[in-house]
Amino acid sequence: MAKTRESDKAVRPNVFMRIGLFIKQIIDELRKVVSPSGKELLGWSFAVFVFVLILMALVTGMDLGLGKLTLWIFG
């Protein structure tokens, strides 16, 4: 096995420099975020609300249907 030289290793910056780089990258990414307008926010909120209502109705229907089926089979 060949020994690796110190110059062959990649030099890692110390822990504080890595934390600083991480925070800098977070800030750079947050600058790219585009906030929705009020109209878009209202539209998306309404869409999520309707979707949740549909899923609630579906799960409620399945629960009631399977409950009735269970009572019919074993009741």
List the structure tokens of 73: 């089979």
pTM given for the model: 0.57
pLDDT at 3: 61
Predicted confidence (pLDDT) per residue in 32-74, tens digit: 999 999 999 999 999 999 999 999 999 999 999 999 999 999 9
Buried b (16+ CB within 10 A) or exposed e, 11-28: eeeeeeeeeeeeeeeeee
List the structure tokens of 3: 């020994």
**In whole angstroms, what is the distance from residue 49 CA to residue 53 CA?**
6
Predicted confidence (pLDDT) per residue in 5-40, tens digit: 655 567 787 899 999 999 999 999 999 999 999 999
**In whole angstroms, what is the distance from residue 57 CA to residue 64 CA?**
10
